[in-house]
Structure 1
Amino acid sequence: MTRARDLALVLLVAAPGVCREFVVPAPSRLVVASTAFYVVVHLLAAGALWWRRTRPGASGLAIAFLTLLTPTFASFASAFSVAHAARHRWLVPVHALTWVVGAGVWTVPDGLVGPGAVVIAGLTGLYLGERRTLRQMLTERECELRVEQARADERTRLAAEMHDVVTHRLNLMVLHAGALRMAAKDDGVRQAAEELRTAGRQALAELRDLVGVLRSGRAPRIPDVLPDRLSRLVADSAATGLEVTLTEHGDADTISPAVRRTMYRVVQESLTNVHKHAPGAHTEITIHCGPSSARAVIRNARPSAPGPALSGSGGLLGLRGRVEMVGGTLTAGPTDDGGFEVDAVLPAFVPT
């Protein structure tokens, strides 16, 4: 279909030029020759339009050279084409200049009509080309909006499924823990049941935040007071029998909220790994908050019972990705005394 349009354009441009040579020859030309010579020039110039898509520069220069021999209507089509395609637009003034030279307009008072028509053709092509580009941009933006809407619908569906499946089980766990606390006669069992019920309620609160993120696509609202949150986290671990100490250096208010959340997750995941793989091991948490960087070091001693190595933990792999996302680094590995250490270094400021 494209080739058929190109052929039609070649014939449409060649016809008026050939007819003009037989009916009303141009009053002035730079090169004086026979009518047959001018007819061949018109045919060659129109034929050069065949390559205006694949080789616009070569096609335009060929037409400009032929226009020096005699003004050709192919100059109009070439000027429009290069301006519309936004390729080799410098050919538009070249076509106008070669028309001026080829037609010898300085000897013909009304000879500026041709160069003016070349410029008008170029401006028309420029306008239509920019309009086409704008239409394509609007179409692409519309497609992006549709994709975003599809993602939002998928988030809503995932949120509904998570709410139906996980929340129901957590509610049952909290209810059973409350019933166990009321029915148990041993103080230790009642305390353990209360801790289980509290942990379940906290899990429900975090799950509600996550479901809200999936539904709205917005970041969860997490308190930015790092010391209080870390203190509660350490207290919860200590309540389960883990010997853990927290040491803080510097002012936590100097770091941005995104760094606070990431540091909290580093400590949380590290304590989770201690509970799983080194139960009962003494754990030290050291937080350094400086003007340009923040650092969290979580070190646990040798576990009382052997456990699997932590270096292959999927939680630590995911945590490393989260730390790197905010421009930080995380290293984790065994220590010389048989324990394990997690060391995260984060920038003090990251845009929220």
Structure 2
Amino acid sequence: MSYLTLSHLEKSFGTLRVVKDFNLDVAQGEFISLLGPSGCGKTTVLRMVAGFELPSSGGISIDGKDVTHLRPNQRNIGMVFQAYALFPNLTVAQNVGFGLKVKGAPKDEIAPRVKEMLDLIGLADLGNRYPFQLSGGQQQRVALARALAPKPSVLLLDEPLSALDAKVRVSLRNEIRAIQRELGITTIFVTHDQEEALSMSDRVVVMHEGIADQVGTPFDIYNRPATRFVAGFVGTLNTIEAPVVDAATGTVRIGLREVRLGRTLPAGRVTLGLRPEAVSLAPTGREIALHGKIREVDFLGSVIRLRADLDGQILAFDTFNTAHSAPPKVGEEVTLGLNAADLLVIGA
């Protein structure tokens, strides 16, 4: 059953339609990410849920209550901003308790709740410090605790990790997800980072030009993209322009090799998508063997990404880095293996 419902949301600024017929049902306790490039409308959707923007049309309900036209302070929403937005003149403890104080909670309730939140974020000993005395990661933890302290119905996070360095981002996203699971709070997370969305979410909404291109689990979004945009935006994808040899049997030509996909195709040409990890450096146990020559070798740590020229078609593929086995060198001839089921038809 839906706890947060967004129905036919539209938002225009003048003649510019930023969000177009956006629909989403979120279950209680679910973690949803809105993923997309800058300007796709994801933050505008978040701001409409928060009450900072009024929809041009459509409705928003929380736990069966229509909140479309309520002010932000009437919605029981917790919000964590990209820029932390902590009060510099208040201590950590005062920042965390600020929302409770504004709501008129008794002092004897505020102190234990603040202590509970500081324990939750692992900053129990830093309550008397000021924001400038904290690291970026610590400040973001305080912003999260402040949003959670009043026990909101829904938690909204607007790219909260984008200002942090890579290691802190990974650590903090794990902490945010763990806290969200512990509290069971319904959460909407806005990000342009695919790894964040895929690793943290129960479901991902991929947005493009104001619409939800696809809504699904991280597994489905990555492995079964519904549109060409989703296929290209989420993860790394090889795109292969392949002439159709036999439309009825789904036979196409890749390089000099004819490959039968086993599904009906339109006549002419199709665009196929192939993830780098679906290609192996040896054809053993694979249905399709393709011959090519290595053009690039990129060392990425635990993974080495190579690019091979298959008669004019460049194909990227990954292999694990091992200390006792060097990767192929540029110019080396290789045979690559893949399965027909891993080839996605993403356009005709």
The alignment's TM-score, normalised by the length of structure 1, stands at: 0.21
Structure with bigger gyration radius: 1
The alignment's TM-score, normalised by the length of structure 2, stands at: 0.22
